[in-house]
Amino acid sequence: MFTTKKLTALATVLALGVIVLGAFVRLTDAGLGCPDWPGCYGHLGVPDHAAEVAAANNAFPDRPVEAHKAWNEMIHRYFAGVLVLLSLLIAYVTWRRRALQRVDSNIALGGVALIFAQAIMGMLTVIWLVNPLIVTGHLVLGLSTAALFWALHIRQHRFHSVTTGSGLRLITLVGLIVLVCQILLGGWTSTNYAALACTDFPTCHGSYWPDMDAKEAFTLWRGLGVDYEGGVLENRARVTIHFAHRIGAIVAAVVLLLVAIVTMKNGGTAQRRVAALLKLLLVTQIALGIVNIVGKLPLGVAVAHNGVAALLLLTLVTLNYMAWSSQTRAAATD
């Protein structure tokens, strides 16, 4: 039997999988592994026969077939396609029960809208040659989709010993906002190929305040017709983006630690457990970030850094839901 709780749990896991696969695609420079959309060189899979490869190379002479990159991209698209179907199923199930769960139905419809918006951004990522603003937006929509399905999932649970209050609500909301800003900085760092702009730590090029160019670094739109693969910024601009992400990491770490401390002190049993998880994820994320710098962006660590960011987001969504709920919600009738 399809239940909202099971479907939304599956959708959240699948959305996280799409996010992690998207990071893997980006970090392996496979964003243009298939130069067309939604197929790959006009195929539903990757061309592998000699005649197909020759035809593909002839059709896209500037993007000859690199099978490993093409498969990275297509697997990501397959997972995203399954998520689209699952989101439609969730919307249908909640719509059937809208008389009792109208809010859930609206949230599910919002999930469908996010999924299709993300698909459009995925198409534009290819058409506009991995434009940083589009790729960052694609990441944000992916994280928003995971967060929305997770919010729909936790609405199905009965939380015991949950404490609300203006102070707790405010700090958890601030924590969520700060984390979102830091994720945006992380996405901008990745999509502008600035992750290796500084490879020493805690300094950057031997300085605690390196030479930077903020205007160039945070020019969001540079027009169409530019191939952004590999990045187009000069070193000073990339250093600026990287360094801003480091500063953001410090601010986020302090704020999220404060969220955990306040919740542990004032929250109920369920909230304290989530706060403990928040602290664990925060320490893990900081460690992964440092290893990314000193290890010169090892692929597995860099992908994990994206995954833990997504888990931090879901943890903050959970704490906000608990703090802002005026009463414990009963589990939905499935």
Active site residues: 73
Q: Decide if 147 contacts 317 (C-beta within 8 A).
A: yes
Would residue 316 be called left, alpha or beta, if left means φ above 0 and alpha means ψ between -120 and 50 degrees? alpha
Q: CA-to-CA distance for 226 and 51, rounded, in angstroms? A: 31
132-154 helix and 4-27 helix, angle to the nearest 10 degrees: 160
Cβ–Cβ under 8 Å, residues 275 and 266: no
CA distance 310 to 150: 11
For residue 46, the one-letter residue type is V
Round to whole Å and give the CA distance between 137 and 116.
13
Q: Rg of the chain over CA atoms, in angstroms? A: 21
Q: How many CA atoms lie within 13 A of 246 on its CB side?
A: 23
d(CA 275, CA 55): 55
Q: How far apart are the first and last CA of the chain?
A: 9
Closest CA to 146 of 326, 332, 311: 311
Note whether 19 and 306 are within 8 A (CB).
yes
